[in-house]
Each structure stands twice: as structure tokens, then as C-alpha cells.
Structure 1
Amino acid sequence: MSGAYRAVWRWHFYAGVLVMPFLMLLALTGGLYLFKDEIDQFANRRMIQIAPAAARAAPGDWIGNAAQAGGGRAASLTLPGSPDQAVRVRVDRPDGSQKTVFVDPHTARVTGVIDQGGVTETIKKLHSLSLFGGATGKALNILIEIVAGWTIVLCATGLYLWWPRRRQGAVLVPHETDLRRRPFWRDLHALVGLYVGGIILFLAVTGMPWSAVWGDQVMGAVKASGLGRPPAPVAGAWQRAEHHDHPAGAGWTMEGVVLPSPSHDQSLTAVIAAAEARNLPRPYTVSIPAQPDTAYTVTAQVRRVQDSRALYVDPAKGAVLADIGFDRFGAGAKVIEWGIYTHQGTQFGQINRLLMLAGCIGVWLLGVSGLVMWWKRRPPSLSRVRLGAPTAPPGPRVRFAVPGIVIPLCILYPLTGLSLVTVLLLDFAARRLMRPRPVVS
């Protein structure tokens, strides 16, 4: 076994130790979120399903009853794609919490109230580790960014270890079928990594736009360069929305901004009529800003990125101030949005969802097989800071060969690069402390 191979194996081992627990959580929650529509329908069926009717209550009654039931201000509502489903109203409460209120659009009767988004929103927040909110949520989101970067390291080193050489090692089919032996788990680990590693790498890269540091920086750079959000189509400019006024469902490119409105009167009925007149397909979401001089934002809830569309409507006159579709996005925004929709498993239909699910299942197979392999070759004593990692090869050239290859991959992700340098220093310090000392006679 060459020194370079041992060095790569050592880094692959440590990357797995650092990444796998979090990556398995992301795979579990991400795999569940692929089926968010089915989970939502199962969990909230009694509140969602209503009797279809030709009559429709006034939209003002929908949000009025929802605000009363939710104990706050109606901030957005989603009109369903089917007449036998309830309207969903997001209600912002004075204590900062949010509720989802289901309202029968035919009678304005409230059919149920749940915490904002219900089960699927909890899964989503677990996936981004933002469930706790505040500084803790921010720190955990940064951790996810580091994990995504290390996943790239894990995939790159894993491919190197699998790559065919003179020795036997590159497998395309399993050579061993005895589950009690380590070679079986080695073959399983290698094959899963080979066949779904590309999907895992894709998920790691396309998940980065949501990250707290890298995502914000890239968003700013793409939009500032003219490759992202289109310029404001009316006099004035895009305005940054307050936290709870972020347009719901606006997507990565248009999130966080609103347009000013020349009118101060508000009429939800006029806004819905304008959306219907523009043939905006349902379901769509109407965001109701807290400030009266801000336009309503109406966003189509679509499954393919090319169908993305947002209307900005004067709430008094029902005049459409802007109609922004995917064709107006810059090249950078189009690429990132395409990656996001594919990441979520909707861009290419059922095959897209199944491929993303295969990546999630593959993460768990890699984690379990890696743990079993470690257990079968673990050192006899773990009390001496011996984790069973491959030994560091001698010589500075070999020791620093892998970081020299990996660090350029991490320059794109500074937090990952910083964590990599930290691990390098810790590894160096640990080897110095564990180095056998000469016996003094």
C-alpha cells in the first residue's frame, strides 16, 4: 500500500467521522421532505379536504376569520389547485410564532389550526438545523455549510480510493457475499459510493445556496453582477423586506425583496382578481405586507423552475406593477434555481425524486457499512486515543499531498477550508503527543 493511498485513506476516514452523523440526519430529513406533499396530506387531511361548491366567500372574510383563529395578523395565504381543498393562511402572532390556519374558501369557515407548516415544516427545519432559531439556529446552519464542504472532500477521497490500480481494489460488483466478513462491507461501501456518490455530491453542492455564510455571499455576488435578480421594472427599486414580510414561496432569486406601491388602500379581492386575470396557475401564494405602501407579492407554487413566476400588485387598484418570470432571471440565478428545484426532487418529475431518494438511502448505507468496517478492524484498546484510523504515512511530501489536493476544493467554501486547517493542526499535534519518546538510561 503506497504512502499516498494511506494518506488519502486517513483523510477519508476522518472526513467520514466528522461528516457522517450530520450527513445521515440530512439524508433522513431530506428523504422525508421529498414526500412532503404526501406527508402533509396524510397529517392534515381532515383540515385540508372540504366539500366543493360553486359559491365563494369574500377573501377578506378568509383572512379575518383566520387572523382571529390564529391570534395574530394574516401574513399570506395560499389558494389551492383544487376546489375541494382549503385555503391556507399564515398568521403571524405577537409573540413571534406563526400558525397555519385552514379556511374553507366557500364558507370562510376555519377547518383547523396548526403550527406554521406542520410536520413538513418541522422536517424542513431539522434538515437545515434551524429548528431552534436565534443564535443557536444560525450556528447550526453554519455547521451544515461545513458538513456540505466536507462531503465534497469525502466524495473526492472516496473516488481516489476506489480508482483502479495494479492491486485488486476497484469493484464494479461485490466479490464477497458473507455478511460476517469485512470484505463484504468493504465491497458494499465501495459500490454504494460508486453508484450514488455523484448524487450525494450534487446534493451537497446544490444545497449550499441555503447556507448562512456561503449562500448569502454568493447571492449578493450573483445579484450584484447582474447575473441574478432582474432590475426593478417600475420607478424606484427593489426594497428589502422585513423578516416576516419576506414574500412566501418567492424562491432563491426573488426572496427578501418587495416593490413599493403607489396606493395605501388594501384589497385582497383586487389582488386575487389581478392574479386570475393574468392566468397565474393555482396553487399560488399571496403575501400580505404589514406596511400599507408595499405591493402584494403573488408567487406561483410550481414544480419546475421554468414555470417560476411572481406578480407584484397594487393592492388598491389591482394593477400589476411587475410580472417576473424565469426568463427574466440572470444566467447565475437560472443555474442556482435549477439546482435547487432538482435538489428538491421536482424538476424532472418522479424520476428526479427517486434519484434524490437513492442518494439519501446511499448515505445511510455508506454510514452503516463504514461503521461496520471500522468495528471489525478497530484497535484492541480505544483508551489510548487510538480511533482505528489508518496510520499517517512518513514524510512531509506524502503527509501534505492530500491537503494540497483537497484545500483548493475548499477555497470555494471558506468555512470548510478553515475547518480543514483546524483538523490539520489537531492531527499534527496529536501525532507529536503520541510519538514514542526515547528511553533515557
Structure 2
Amino acid sequence: MATDTLAPTRHDDKERKPSGGLFRAFWRWHFYAAFVVAPILLVLASTGLIYLLRFQIEPLMHADVMKVEQPAGATQRVPYEDQRAAVAKAYPKATIASMTEPKGNDRSTDFYLSLPDGSSRDAYVDPWTGEVLGDLNPDTTLSGLAVRLHTDMMLGSTGDILMELGACWAIVMALTGYYLFIRGRTARLRRRLSGAAGSAMRSRHAVIGSVVGASLLILLISGLPWTAFWGTHAQTMATDHSSSMWGSDPGGVSTKGSTLDESLPHSHAHEIPWAQGDSTVPESSKPGKEVSIANIDTTVAVADQAGLHHPLTIALPADDTGVFSAISYAFHDPSREKTLHIDQYGGQVVGAYGFADYPALAKIVSQGIGLHEGRSFGPVSFWAAALSCLMVIFMCVSGPMMWWRRRPRSAGSVAAPRGRMPLRSSPLLAVAIVALGVFLPFFGITLLVALLVDQLILRRIPRLQTWFNVV
């Protein structure tokens, strides 16, 4: 992902000679891919950065409900079950779906509520006093909006398609960018030394692109399992070959229960480890005689004995056959992800599923998603992901700026680089393009469409041939 993303073709003859047909063909691909990719990447990078910083941003924006003050000398928090009772009293018509422990002594306890109209709320409780501080609609917070935009641009299945299409062509743009960065280094240096207009921006675009390109490829590839088409079909293929990108919870013996990601409101499905989202939740067995009744505090105690990583999210049983599910997201270490299902009557573990139980492919995907979310290696991953987002934003802005500065003042052309891919003389390149098209079907399909449009329309209409700089 380097050199001029949207730069035109005005170059002197000296700059053209060492480039060759392959250089200009790659440049042309890079140029047109940017028209598809740049707006989508700008949305993904901006919303990804907001989501990455959610634990810093949201408490500042909603300090009245998210932040608390530990009383002097206080060491014991109010029992979670008492906090739950306070929420139930404050919101009598709501169903308490789950609870997430405070992330620190200065943070409130978060209860996820499902309302009769199908919406959800986050209700916050001061863990030191048991006071209900208020609630927020998770879909309308800044990070909530960022998640919804990042997922499908809030366009449903249409957004899914656009996101996957953008990701596929962004991979192409990154690969062609590296080729341009290496082959175009002499020309860039010559222009920089001569003080040519726009040369400084072009050099920065190239250097920053060479750095962010690798991380962008990691982010794009690790994000593919979330996509509606590629992710679904990749899982189907993996299943057909006796593997899986997530797998079934061996403790999920119930055929009637919901899946784990359905145990929480839609806005909080991301609180569940990705590889466990489709795991089936087992049922509690209601005995015929009196037994102890488990609660949230029982569940946390059992999770502590099992060594689960805090803070925990506890999904509450929805009826008299449901279970308490203690979910350890293990934010900074995906290999410690684990969920325990606790019988709501006897308090015994009726199911357990963690990273060690994942199929081999699911372990790889889970670690990749940890990288994608900037959490696999602690602060290093966090700051690397944040810097990557900022650099992607710069690339999405600097490319169009370069094109705008050097665009032709006369109408009739977008000033795209002129070049045709020399596939006949480069059989390995042809094989690589076909392989990429098979691996990324959306890229392969849209590439075929582009080639057909080029041959059947653009080359037959003189005005379009001039406008698109067709060779």
C-alpha cells in the first residue's frame, strides 16, 4: 500500500523507462482499487480506532454512570446478587440478561438489560454502595455506533457485501502498493531531490504505506472470518474437512437451548470469545427435591476456583431450565478464554469450554482476532493497532490529496495511469491472480466484471476510453 494511491500519470520520460509495463499496470490497479477501498478503509480505521479506545473514551463521556469513588477504608464490594436485585427493582419491566464485573476499583458494575420493545440498556451500579447510577443505550454510545458501522456500516446485508468487497480489494491494493514502493523508489528520490511539486507528500505516502501495509494485511485477513460470505463458506469448507473455525461446546448438551451469543443483547455479542459464539448452552436440571439455589456470586466463586480470568461476564438464566454462564474473555491473552456453565440449582459445573478445547483452526483464528483487536500482546498490541489505524487514515486522505493536486485541469479524463497487465508474458502472475480470485471470491467476481466492462464497453466507446485512460 504505497506510492500514489490516486495520482495521475504526468511523468517525464526518464521516470517512465525503468518502470516498464508491469509497473504501470500495477499502478493502474492500485489507482482504481483506491476508489473502491479508500472510503471503506477510512470508515473501518476510524471506527476501529474508536472501538480500540472505548475503555478510555466512554468513561470520560459518561463518568456519571461509569466511574465511582472507592470509600476510604472500604475493601468489600456489595454482593453482586444484591446489586442485581437493586437493578431489578429500578427496572421492573426489564429482563437482566447478564452482568460484567467492574474493570477496576473506580468503575461501576454493568448489567445488560433486555426491554419489552426489543431494545437493550446498560444499567450501572456503584459496587461500593449498591446504588443504581443510571443507564445508557449501548447502540447510541460512541463506541456502540462505531461497532455498528465497523460491522456492516449499518446497512445490513448490503453493508456486509461492501465491507467484504472493500477488504478483498484492499488486500490487492496493499500487495500492488509494495511492488510500487520497491520499483518506484528511484523515481521518488529523483523528484524529491529536484523539489518537484507534491514530491514530499508522495514520499510520505510511500514510506508510511510500506510500514502500515503489513499490519493492514494482518487486520484484513484476520477480519475475514467475520464476513458474511467468506467467513460462512470458509467455516463450511473447514467443517467438511473435519475441522472448524469455532467448534461446538462439548458441555452444550441441550438441543433446545440458545447459542452463547444469543444469551446477551445483540449490542454485547462481542463480549463473548469469537470462537465460542455458536456454542450451545446446556440446561439446568430442576430437581424434585429442595436444593441450594445458585446466584451470580455463586457463579463467580465457582469461576474463581476454576481459575478463570477476570473481569468476568455472567450470563443469567432466562428461565427455570437455563444456566449461569461465566464468560472469561481473557482480554490480553486469547489462550486463556474459557466459559463455565453453572447449574442454577445445585451450583455445579454442567459444561466447560475454553481455548484448549478449540479445534486447531479455531485457535489460529482466535489468536488472529486478538491481533485484529489489539489485545494479544498487551500494550504492544494496543499501541500497534492504534498506530496502524492512524496510518491507514493518513493513507486514505493523502492518496486523494495527491490526485487532486495533480489532476488535469481540463475535463475529459480522470488521469489514471495507463497500463495493461502483461499476463501472457508473466504466467506466474496469471496463476497468482487466479489463485487470489479463488481465495477471495468477491475479488475474483468483481475482477471478471471489470475485465468484461473494459473489453465490451470502455474500449468500444471513445469518450469512455479517453475518460478511463484505456490503453
Contact 2:245/2:365 (<8 A) preserved = no
The CA deviation at 1:237 is: 5.8
> Counterpart of 2:345 in 1: which secondary structure?
coil
Aligned to 1:125: 148
> Counterpart of 1:299 in 2: which secondary structure?
strand
Contact 1:300/1:310 (<8 A) preserved = yes
Aligned to 1:44: 62
Cα pair distance change 1:403/1:43, threshold 3 Å? farther
Residues 29-69 of structure 1, C-alpha deviations (whole Å, 9 max, x = no match) = 21222222111221222212334445554544433433454
Q: Which has the higher contact order (CA 8 A, sep 6+)?
A: 2
Contact 1:260/1:295 (<8 A) preserved = yes
Q: Determine the C-alpha separation between the residues in 2 that align with 1:87 and 1:436.
A: 61
Cα pair distance change 1:14/1:66, threshold 3 Å? same
Residue identity (%): 28
The CA deviation at 1:413 is: 2.0
Cα pair distance change 1:395/1:419, threshold 3 Å? closer
Contact 2:44/2:150 (<8 A) preserved = yes
Residues 325-347 of structure 1, C-alpha deviations (whole Å, 9 max, x = no match) = 32222211111111111111111
**In the alignment, residue 263 of structure 1 is paired with which amino acid?**
S
Contact 1:7/1:398 (<8 A) preserved = no
The answer to whether structure 1 residue 208 and structure 2 residue 224 are counterparts is yes
Cα pair distance change 1:138/1:231, threshold 3 Å? closer
Aligned to 1:286: 314
Matches within 5 A, 1:324-335: 324-335=353-364
Residues 342-391 of structure 1, C-alpha deviations (whole Å, 9 max, x = no match) = 11111112222222222222222222332132123323334x3x221112
Q: Determine the C-alpha separation between the residues in 2 that align with 1:36 and 1:380.
A: 44
The CA deviation at 1:214 is: 1.5
Residues 132-168 of structure 1, C-alpha deviations (whole Å, 9 max, x = no match) = 3xxx322212211111111110011111222248x93
**In the alignment, residue 206 of structure 2 is paired with which amino acid?**
A
1:357 to 386, 397, 415: 386
1:33 to 41, 51, 67: 51
Q: Determine the C-alpha separation between the residues in 2 that align with 1:231 and 1:367.
A: 40
The CA deviation at 1:409 is: 1.5
Matches within 5 A, 1:295-310: 295-302=323-330, 303-310=332-339
Aligned to 1:427: 454
Aligned to 2:243: 226
Cα pair distance change 1:393/1:308, threshold 3 Å? closer
Residues 224-247 of structure 1, C-alpha deviations (whole Å, 9 max, x = no match) = 623454654448367552874257
My pick for the range that moved more, 216-225 or 405-414, is 216-225
> Counterpart of 1:257 in 2: which secondary structure?
coil
My pick for the range that moved more, 204-213 or 69-78, is 69-78
Aligned to 1:415: 442
Contact 1:310/1:323 (<8 A) preserved = yes
Gaps in structure 1 of 5+ consecutive residues = none
The answer to whether structure 1 residue 406 and structure 2 residue 433 are counterparts is yes
1:155 to 163, 171, 174: 174
Matches within 5 A, 1:78-97: 78-97=100-119
1:337 to 339, 344, 366: 366
**In the alignment, residue 286 of structure 1 is paired with which amino acid?**
I
Aligned to 1:62: 83
Aligned to 2:27: 9
1:312 to 341, 345, 355: 341
> Counterpart of 2:271 in 1: which secondary structure?
coil
> Counterpart of 1:143 in 2: which secondary structure?
helix
TM-score by length of 2: 0.81
The answer to whether structure 1 residue 255 and structure 2 residue 271 are counterparts is no
**In the alignment, residue 355 of structure 2 is paired with which amino acid?**
F
> Counterpart of 2:124 in 1: which secondary structure?
strand
My pick for the range that moved more, 350-359 or 426-435, is 426-435
TM-score by length of 1: 0.86
Aligned to 2:125: 103
Q: Determine the C-alpha separation between the residues in 2 that align with 1:154 and 1:308.
A: 34
> Counterpart of 1:258 in 2: which secondary structure?
coil
Q: Determine the C-alpha separation between the residues in 1 that align with 2:251 and 2:150.
A: 38
Cα pair distance change 1:177/1:208, threshold 3 Å? farther
> Counterpart of 2:62 in 1: which secondary structure?
helix
Q: Determine the C-alpha separation between the residues in 2 that align with 1:320 and 1:83.
A: 29
**In the alignment, residue 136 of structure 2 is paired with which amino acid?**
I
The CA deviation at 1:207 is: 1.4
Contact 1:4/1:398 (<8 A) preserved = no
Gaps in structure 2 of 5+ consecutive residues = 1-15, 287-292, 466-471
Q: Determine the C-alpha separation between the residues in 2 that align with 1:286 and 1:376.
A: 55
The CA deviation at 1:112 is: 1.6
Q: Determine the C-alpha separation between the residues in 2 that align with 1:421 and 1:55.
A: 65
